Amino acid sequence: MDKNVLFHWEHIIGMFSVADGEILRYILHTKIPLEKLIRHELAGRGYDENHRWCGFEKAKEIWCSDN
């Protein structure tokens, strides 16, 4: 577990603070599952849970499994 949670929190807030308001309203209105979008993005980067390169297929297994 990361010891400096505030560091991550500040970056998360920063991502939303620069996002277009229309996109933020759309996410809320349509109840887009952010976890699913995040998992898809992580799979597309090809890294595992420890940020080690594992390849796109393995990353898809890790991040997009229905477990």
Q: How far is it, in rounded angstroms, from Cα 59 to Cα 62?
A: 5
Q: What pLDDT does residue 1 have? A: 54
Torsion angle (degrees, nearest 10) of CA 62, 11, 37, 57: -30
**Would you say 19 and 32 are in contact if contact means Cβ atoms under 8 Å apart?**
no
Q: What ranges do the domains of the chain cover? A: 1-32, 33-67
Query: What confidence tier does 7 reach under pLDDT thresholds 50, 70, 90?
Result: confident
User: What's the mean pLDDT when you consider all of the chain?
Assistant: 91
**Overall average pLDDT of the 22-38 stretch:** 94
Contact between residue 60 and residue 45 where contact means Cβ atoms under 8 Å apart: no
Output the six-digit token pair for 42: 């992580």
pTM greater than 0.75 (yes/no): no
Q: How many CB atoms lie under 10 A from the CB of residue 63?
A: 19
